Amino acid sequence: MAQLLAVVGGGDLSTHAVLALEALRKAAGRRNQPIALELRGGNPLPEAAIAEGRSVLLVGQGDLGEGRFGALATVRAAIEDVLADAGAVLDRALAGSTDAARAPASASAAASPKRIVAVTSCPTGIAHTFMAAEGIQAAGTALGHDVRVETQGSVGARDPLSEAEIAAADLVLIAADKGVDRARFAGKRVYATTTKAAIRDGKGLIATALAEAQVQPAEGAAADGPARPAAAEKQAGAYRHLMTGVSFMLPFVVAGGLLIAIAFAVGGIDAMSPGNAGTLGYALGEIGAKAAFALIVPALAGYIAYSIADRPGIAPGMIGGMLAANLQAGFLGGIAAGFIAGYTARFLNRHIRLHKNLEGLKPVLILPLLATTITGLLMIYVVGVPVAAVLAALTGWLKGMQGASALVLGLILGGMMAVDMGGPINKAAYASAAALLSSGVDAPMAAVMLGGMTPPLGLALATRLFPGRFTAPEREAGGAAAVLGAAFITEGAIPFAAADPLRVIPAMVAGSAVAGALALSLGVTLKVPHGGLFVLPIPNAVTNLTGAVIALLAGTVITALLVGILKKRAA
């Protein structure tokens, strides 16, 4: 009996995806039907299984790597349908109901060697950026393609693509969780997706990109055509726009927070008082508090708008962000200003039509003037005051947290950091804590950082305490996970979680939740949004350093012990 292939992708609904996968496995077993299953984000289907497959069942939405399957018959289903009646979905797949199969000519064209250039980027510009680059590079080399990857990391572009390389490319592949400027790729076939897609299945991503990439229109082209490739447009949304703003905001938070901490270390707790004007501590405090921190909200708003409307959104977004800061609406007002400015600028850009000789006035005169005016008036008369009241209430509640409320918030924030290890849930907790720093609330960042360090550190410890539960490659990876965890790179736990998600992820969530709860319960605060262990020794960067160490050790040990209890012995 020929084998059925099934790919399940849950996107943000990772738990539902796992349940759907198990439901299909059981339904196939009852029918004695051979089935090869892939959970996106875990181990991809072997090429041998694909070659022997009779048809493919694609469950869920997002990038399922369908480009790998060539002319195989394809059946699609929703996760909800599988959870409701997996047998019915399986019967439909076996009956051979198909979507349009890819043309053989397209498949053969995709199989020929191509020149591919790629850009990878994530909000913090650290782990996911480089893991995605490695995934694309390795997959392209294995498939026989010529691949060059540019990483847009935390310190800017690394190995930037030259104009000649872009001109010679057959495909531009963008794997990013934040906005990437596409102007230089005008006229090229472009496919955009997330870093996670490149990490989990580079070969499938390249095959899909070759089949589905669309031509990027030139800057200033008529608005009839799509502003972005369809794949990017489907995946772009509020989350991506917010993460773009957060990524550009972070350097201001880091620089300002550290400078304020150093000011206190140099000049004492009163370093920034007027009586100390002219001293080094006072000067450092001025730079950090009145320069770097003053730009946090405008940068957040400006680059949210940039993600939505490209460069026409930056000026109205930053001006709206400055108004939010002046109105005491803080980061919440900045987020509102960014979305208002971005969607206003994009709407005006698409609907204002001028003679081609006057088209050059749009980006330098018409769009900045109109979008800024609309954004500013809405911020002053509609948005600013109520958002400022909400922020003040939130800030007061967070600063007054004690006892049970601090414990619960710490549990939630710490647990969120371990659920998807750099995914949307992790980034939502991180972005919230980083934004709160601009309002002087620094306790949530302590729970987030300690909770994010715990998973890789706990797994590294587990490989030493329970070596029999891990394969030899996993034991070797334990050392790397320890280094990544010490640097607050939660993604170091991904290989372990992908190999055994049902046992490893609950253990990580439990340890991170305990670390976060202890941090807030013990009054730990953190003025810097990144750095891990390397920022702990900086004077005044951490309040209650002893409590931070206790929380981190407790979370790490709990994760390691639970992994040792839950995991089976390695074969």
Q: For 125, phi and psi rounded to 5 degrees?
A: 70, 30
* Residue 321 · residue 338 · CB < 8 Å: yes
Distance CA 83, CA 23 (A): 7
* Structure-token pair, residue 210: 């070759």
Burial status of residue 358 (CB atoms within 10 A of its CB: 0-12, 13-18, 19 or more): exposed
Residue 428 is which amino acid?
Answer: A
Distance CA 126, CA 247 (A): 11
CA distance to 32, 344, 446, 477, per residue, from 292 (Å): 64, 27, 21, 38
Q: What are the angstrom distances between the C-alpha of 358 and each of 36, 311, 353, 362, 424?
A: 59, 18, 9, 8, 42
Read off the tokens for 451: 């909770």
> By the 8 A CB rule, do 553 and 515 touch?
no
On the CB side of 294, how many CA atoms lie within 13 Å of its CA? 8
Strand partners, 119: 150, 174
Q: Is the dihedral of CA 270, 273, 274, 280 positive or negative?
A: positive
For residue 336, give the H/E element and its range: helix 330-351
Nearest to 456 by CA among 438, 436, 477: 477
Q: How many other C-beta atoms can be found within 10 angstroms of the C-beta atom of residue 44? A: 19
* Residue whose entry in the numeric block shows the structure tokens 């950091």: 417
**Residue 96 token pair:** 């051979």
Written as six digits, the tokens of 283 are 């000067």
Give the CA count within 13 Å in the CB-facing half-sphere of 210. 28
Tokens found for residue 51: 């070659």
The catalytic residues are 122
Nearest CA to 74 among 55, 90, 61? Answer: 55
